[in-house]
Amino acid sequence: MKTLAGVWPFLLLFGLIIGGLYAKLFTPTEAAGMGAGLAILIATFHGKLNWSVLRTIVIDTAYTSVSLYTVLFGALMLSKLLTLSGLAGGVLALVQSTGLEGTALILAIMCVFLVLGCVMDSMAIILIFVPLFAPIVVAQGFDLVWFGIIVIVVTEIALITPPVGMNVFVLKAVLPDVPVVRIFKGLIPFIGVDIVRLAILIAFPAITLWLGSTVG
C-alpha cells in the first residue's frame, strides 16, 4: 500500500479521462487535451517541470508533429490518387464478383482492409471504403455498429503495419536511436494478438454489441 501511494497521479489521470468520457463531460479529443493539461499540472506539482524541461517538450512535440503530418500528407495524397484512379470502385467490384455471402464476405472485406492498411492511412481507408462496403454489409443482415467496431480494429492494426504505420513513426520520433526495422519486428506479436482479437469479434458479434445494449 505504501508503494501504491506513489501512483495516485496516474490513477487520477486515468479517472479523469475515462470517467469524463463515460460521464459524457467531453469528447475523446477534448479528453486528450484534458489529460495533457492535468499531466502538466501533476508534473509541476511534483517539481519536475521547469522552463528547460518545458522547452524540450515543446521542441520534441514540434518534431513529432512535423514527422506525423509529413506521413499523413503523403497518405492523403495517395488516397486521393487511388480515388481518382478508380481503385476504390475496382476493389468493390472485385469483392462483389466473388459471390461470397455472410461471414465469408466479412472476412474478404477485412482482408482488403488489412492489405490497404499497409499502404494507406487509416482515416483515408475509413472515408473511402467504408461507405462503399456499408450497403453490402447491411444487405447481408449484419449490424452496422458491429461492422464499424471491427473496421476500427482493422485500422488499429493498420497503424502498426509497414510501411505507413503511423504509430511506428510516433515511436520512432520518441526513440530516434532505435531502427524502424527493429520497431516493426517488435510489433509482430502485437499484430498477431490483434488479428486473434479481430477473429473473435467476427466470430462472436454479441461481444461488441452487449455493452451498448445495456445502456438506456
Q: How confident is the model at residue 80 (pLDDT cuts 50, 70, 90)?
A: confident
Q: What is the mean pLDDT of residues 131-160?
A: 85
Residue 214 pLDDT:
64
Same-domain check for residues 102 and 8: no
Q: What is the mean pLDDT of residues 11-30?
A: 87
What is the distance between the terminal CA atoms of the chain, rounded to a whole angstrom?
A: 38
Same-domain check for residues 5 and 106: no
What is the span of the domain harbouring residue 26? Answer: 1-49
Q: What is the mean pLDDT of residues 87-100?
A: 74
Same-domain check for residues 136 and 173: yes
Domain boundary among 10, 26, 49: 49
Q: Quick one: DSSP state of residue 70? A: H
Spatial separation of the C-alpha atoms in residues 103 and 123, rounded to whole Å: 24
Q: How confident is the model at residue 20 (pLDDT cuts 50, 70, 90)?
A: confident
Q: What is the mean pLDDT of residues 171-195?
A: 85
Let me know how long the chain is.
216
Residue 215 pLDDT:
58
Same-domain check for residues 43 and 58: no
Same-domain check for residues 87 and 142: yes
Query: Does pLDDT of 44 surpass 60?
Result: yes
Q: Lowest-confidence range among 15-29, 111-125, 146-160, 181-195?
A: 111-125
Same-domain check for residues 57 and 120: yes
Spatial separation of the C-alpha atoms in residues 172 and 70, rounded to whole Å: 14
Residue 168 pLDDT:
81
What is the identity of the amino acid at 112?
Answer: V
Number of domains in the chain: 2
Task: Tally Cβ neighbours within 10 Å of residue 130.
Answer: 17
